[in-house]
Amino acid sequence: MQTRLIKTDGLSQQVLEAGEGPLVLLIHGFPELGVSWRAQVQALAAAGYHAVAPDMRGYGGTDKPVGVAAYSILQLVGDMVDLVRALGEDRCVVVGHDWGAPVAWHCALLRPDVFTAVAGLSVPFQPRRPGGPPTPVMAAMSKKAGQGDLYINRFQAPDAHKALEADPATTLRKLFFAYDGATPAERRSTGFMPEGVSLLESIDDTAGPPPWMNADHFREYVDAFAAGGFDGPLNWYRALDLNWSLTAFLQNQKILVPALFVVGENDPVRHYAGRQEATLKDWVPQLARMEVLPGAGHWIQQERAEAVNALLLDFLAGL
């Protein structure tokens, strides 16, 4: 594997890559980096693919534009289109985890000529819904259910990143712990917080890194977020309502390329995104497989690297 910088239109992207052959892009989520795909890069390269895992816009060694408007879903998909071209290719398979999954789904939705197949991990495709932007709807639903505030709504605050930046090591330690499958159910986050309690305050102070994350790997994240901060990553969340306003042209459009979806049985994200799993086939007619990995949490490609690798390789072989 090697790490290098690739200059695309208006953005310098740092990528982790290995192998030769058909291109597979691996898109990380929050709060992660391209190195979260290390096991997949190795496995795909060994199987005859060119595996590329970028640090996404706002993260790690990639540029960090200022302002919410720079982080719309159209910008994020455009980054991946540019990256494919900069890598000398005209098509690829795209795989995304967490926030990377919506980007991957929209890559396939917007540019099926470039992204000829898609795999989403942990977050199913969520089609644009009529009736108004999503964050007020999420806030109203949380309040009606008596669940408190969803962290996504808390992240809308312009200064929300400052609390996360106060101690990046503690922030990352708590977030990885709270969404991991090995964490006891009663200590996992649901994503909801009582009024007046912050996300970090809602997670046990004794939380430690998950069993699959060694000290060196954890340090990679701490160093990256200590240097780059959390403002860019939170802008992905702050752009949710902007995304809704920009994508009216996608209303009722389906993803028509072959697809795979994998989720951990104990992934807390299923508390607020899981309902989309039941209708996924309606919106992704060529969904080849939907797999729920027993006992796994949210960091699925690292928690269950061998299982995810096997599922990806089987999916790719069937294309």
Residues with active-site annotation: 98, 298
Q: What angle do CA 149, 177, 205 make, to 5 degrees?
A: 75
First to last CA, the chain: 25
How many other CB atoms are there within 10 angstroms of residue 305's CB atom?
Answer: 17
CA distance 190 to 222: 24
User: d(Cα 116, Cα 44) in Å, to the nearest integer?
Assistant: 17
- With left for phi above 0 and alpha for psi between -120 and 50, is residue 146 left, alpha or beta? left
Where in the chain does DSSP place strands (E)?
A: 2-8, 11-18, 23-27, 50-54, 92-97, 115-121, 149-150, 192-193, 259-264, 287-293
Rounded to whole angstroms, how far apart are CA atoms 206 and 218?
Answer: 16
